[in-house]
């Protein structure tokens, strides 16, 4: 975990990365938040980036929940409005943390959250995986995340390919824990806490199932929720050529809720 501090901070943002990547890929986003006078907390989730242990593996999705919650507890010490920003699988981790842990936060932003995969394995492979993950939980398979599927920006694609901390395989246990977390997120959608929520979904997403994102959003029973689809943008909204527009839209949501929290 790392904390970036600014002078006269207006709030604090916790950034949670997606599967196969690490917090170092969010330098541009972190810089933007700092320019807007927000402290930022981020780090690598278990099994990714520079963390110890088997890469692309968790024994239980709770490991992600515990990690995100520990970042929240660190943010809490600043006594400032807190926002959680989760991308892809990081968005799912944020949702799960909000479901199972009490957090006094001002808002949640999800970027192309993972509530389903764009391409699922065929039935035979899926059944085999369900059996093998109990016998060989650490067995690894190639992930289907490619440079061409995440962004239209050639420079970001090149960096992604050369990234020494990128994880290109995941274990059967990891995959089955991901599916379990997705099922629970739908099952308990009506119990999601009444926290201001912004969901931003890539219009051309070749990593997660955008339709499932809509289904989850429509199942919520919360009073303050917003959904924004960005047509023609690929999965990584903050790495697309239009990333400044995406950031400005998100800041409109953040600033509006920040003003409301200041009057309470």
CA distance 73 to 3: 12
Q: Three-class SS of residue 39?
A: strand
Choose, from 88, 111, 112, 140, the residue flagged as catalytic.
88
**Residues 6+ away with beta carbon under 8 Å from 98:** 84, 108, 192, 193, 195
**Residues 6+ away with beta carbon under 8 Å from 59:** 137, 173, 177
DSSP 8-state assignment for residue 101: S
CA separation (Å) from 84 to 30, 75, 109, 126, 220?
Answer: 13, 10, 6, 32, 18
Decide: residue 259, CB within 10 A, 0-12 exposed, 13-18 middle, 19+ buried. exposed
Annotated active-site residue 88? The verdict is yes
**Residues 6+ away with beta carbon under 8 Å from 12:** 38, 39, 40, 41, 75, 78, 80, 81, 82, 83
**Which DSSP string do the residues of 188-241 spell out, in sequence order?**
TGGGS----EEEEEESS-SSB-HHHHHHHHHT---SSEEEEEETT--S-GGGST
Annotated active-site residue 255? The verdict is no
Annotated active-site residue 39? The verdict is no
CA distance 48 to 52: 8
The catalytic site residues sit at: 88, 205, 235
């Amino acid at each position: 975990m790392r904390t970036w501090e600014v002078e006269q901070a207006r709030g604090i943002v916790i950034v949670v990365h997606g599967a196969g990547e690490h917090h170092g890929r969010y330098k541009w986003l972190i810089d933007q938040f700092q320019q807007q006078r927000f402290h930022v907390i981020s780090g690598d989730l278990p099994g990714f980036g520079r963390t110890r242990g088997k890469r692309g593996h968790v024994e239980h999705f709770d490991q992600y929940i515990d990690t995100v919650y520990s970042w929240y507890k660190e943010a809490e010490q600043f006594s400032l409005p807190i926002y959680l920003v989760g991308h892809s699988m990081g968005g799912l981790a944020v949702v799960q943390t909000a479901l199972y842990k009490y957090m006094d936060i001002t808002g949640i932003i999800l970027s192309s959250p993972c509530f389903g995969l764009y391409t699922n394995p065929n039935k035979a492979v899926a059944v085999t995986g369900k059996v093998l993950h109990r016998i060989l939980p650490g067995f690894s398979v190639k992930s289907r995340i490619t440079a061409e599927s995440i962004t239209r920006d050639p420079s970001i694609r090149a960096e992604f390919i050369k990234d020494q901390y990128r994880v290109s395989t995941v274990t059967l246990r990891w995959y089955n824990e991901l599916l379990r977390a997705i099922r629970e997120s739908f099952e308990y959608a009506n119990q999601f806490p009444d926290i201001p929520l912004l969901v931003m979904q890539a219009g051309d997403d070749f990593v997660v199932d955008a339709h499932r994102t809509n289904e989850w959003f429509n199942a919520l029973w919360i009073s303050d929720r917003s959904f924004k689809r960005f047509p023609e943008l690929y999965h990584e909204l903050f790495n697309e050529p239009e990333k400044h527009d995406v950031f400005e839209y998100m800041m409109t949501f953040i600033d509006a809720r920040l003003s409301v929290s200041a009057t309470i």
